[in-house]
Amino acid sequence: MISLELSQHQLDELYDGLSSLDTPSARKKCLTVYLRAKGYPCEGIADITRVDADTVTNYVKSYSKCTN
């Protein structure tokens, strides 16, 4: 399991992306990573966003790679 420790600034950017990004898929990715960073379980996030748990993990991995 990948854990995310994000700064408040990073959390704010993800939250802002929920309304400012152009595509629904980009907004969904922001929501997914935001919820995971807030400590929600993958299965719960998958249920909320209607993707599978592997997709949640992939979104988080992708975000982690971009921020490192």
The model's pLDDT over 14-56, given as tens digits with 9 standing for 90+, comes to 999 999 999 999 999 999 999 999 999 999 999 999 999 999 9
- For the four alpha carbons of 38, 42, 47 and 50, in that order, the dihedral sign comes to positive
pLDDT of 14 reads 95
Tell me: pLDDT of 2 over 80.
Answer: no
Q: What is the 3-state secondary structure (H, E, C) of the chain?
A: CCCCCCCHHHHHHHHHHHHHCCCHHHHHHHHHHHHHHCCCCHHHHHHHHCCCHHHHHHHHHHHHHHHC
pLDDT of 37 reads 94
Crossing angle (nearest 10°) for helices 42-49 and 53-67? 100
